[in-house]
Homo-oligomer: A and B are copies of this chain.
Amino acid sequence: MQNMPQRVPSLKQGKMDLYWAYENMQIIDQIIKRYKSKDTLEGYSIGICLHITKETAVLILGLQQLGAEIFICPANPLSTQEHIVSLLKEKGIKVYREKGKTIQSFFKNMDMVLDNKPNIIVDDGGEFHKRALQKNYKIFGGTEETSSGVNRLNAWYKKKIIKYPIIAVNQSRTKNLFDNRYGTGQSTIDGILRTTGILLAGKRIIVCGYGWVGKGIANNAKGLGAKVIVTEIDPVNALEAFMDGFEVKPISDTTSFGDVYITCTGQLRVIRQEHIKNMKNGVILCNAGHFDVEIDMDYLNSEDNHPTTIRKNLKCYKINKKNIYLLAEGRVINLVGGDGNSPEIMALSFANQLLSIIHISNNCNKLEPKVYSVPKKIENEIGVLALKSFNIQIDNITKEQESYFYS
Taking beta carbons and an 8 Å cutoff, which residues of A are in contact with B? Answer: 1-7, 9, 13, 16-17, 19-20, 23-24, 81, 151-152, 155, 159, 173-174, 177-178, 182-183, 185-186, 189-190, 193-194, 197-202, 220, 222-227, 231-236, 238-240, 242-251, 253, 257, 267-270, 282, 309-311, 314, 323, 338-339, 341-345, 379-380, 382-384, 386-387, 390-398, 400-401, 404-407
**Please, how many angstroms separate the alpha-carbon atoms of A19 and B2 in the complex?**
17
Contact between chains at B177 and A390 (CB < 8 Å):
no
A–B complex contacts, Cβ < 8 Å, 26 sampled: A1-B6, A2-B2, A4-B6, A5-B7, A20-B310, A173-B240, A177-B240, A178-B240, A182-B201, A182-B225, A193-B338, A197-B338, A198-B344, A199-B344, A201-B243, A201-B245, A202-B245, A202-B344, A220-B225, A234-B394, A236-B380, A239-B387, A249-B393, A267-B401, A268-B401, A269-B401
A240 CB contacts on chain B under 8 angstroms:
173, 177-178
Q: Which of B182, B235, B390 meets A394, CB within 8 Å? A: B235
**Please, how many angstroms separate the alpha-carbon atoms of A220 and B81 in the complex?**
29
Q: Nearest residue in B to A257 (C-beta to C-beta)? A: B391
**Please, how many angstroms separate the alpha-carbon atoms of A391 and B202 in the complex?**
12
- Report the minimum CB–CB distance from A115 to chain B (whole Å): 25
**Please, how many angstroms separate the alpha-carbon atoms of A198 and B198 in the complex?**
21
Q: Nearest residue in B to A267 (C-beta to C-beta)? A: B401
Contact between chains at B225 and A243 (CB < 8 Å):
yes
**Please, how many angstroms separate the alpha-carbon atoms of A186 and B220 in the complex?**
12
7 tightest A-B CB contacts, nearest first: A223-B223, A235-B383, A199-B342, A2-B2, A182-B201, A236-B383, A199-B344
Copies in the complex: 4
**Please, how many angstroms separate the alpha-carbon atoms of A232 and B396 in the complex?**
8
Q: Nearest residue in B to A231 (C-beta to C-beta)? A: B395
Contact between chains at B155 and A406 (CB < 8 Å):
yes
12 more CB-based (< 8 A) A-B contacts, given A182-B202, A223-B224, A233-B394 = A152-B405, A173-B240, A174-B239, A178-B239, A183-B199, A185-B201, A186-B193, A199-B345, A223-B225, A226-B245, A232-B395, A268-B404
Q: Which of B7, B177, B244 meets A4, CB within 8 Å? A: B7
**Please, how many angstroms separate the alpha-carbon atoms of A222 and B380 in the complex?**
27
Contact between chains at B16 and A311 (CB < 8 Å):
yes
**Please, how many angstroms separate the alpha-carbon atoms of A310 and B386 in the complex?**
25
Q: Nearest residue in B to A203 (C-beta to C-beta)? A: B344
Contact between chains at A182 and B199 (CB < 8 Å):
yes
Q: Nearest residue in B to A379 (C-beta to C-beta)? A: B236
A1 CB contacts on chain B under 8 angstroms:
2, 6, 9, 81, 339
Q: Which of B250, B269, B392 meets A238, CB within 8 Å? A: B392
Q: Nearest residue in B to A384 (C-beta to C-beta)? A: B235
- Report the minimum CB–CB distance from A381 to chain B (whole Å): 9
- Report the minimum CB–CB distance from A103 to chain B (whole Å): 15
Q: Nearest residue in B to A383 (C-beta to C-beta)? A: B235
A270 CB contacts on chain B under 8 angstroms:
401
Q: Nearest residue in B to A340 (C-beta to C-beta)? A: B197
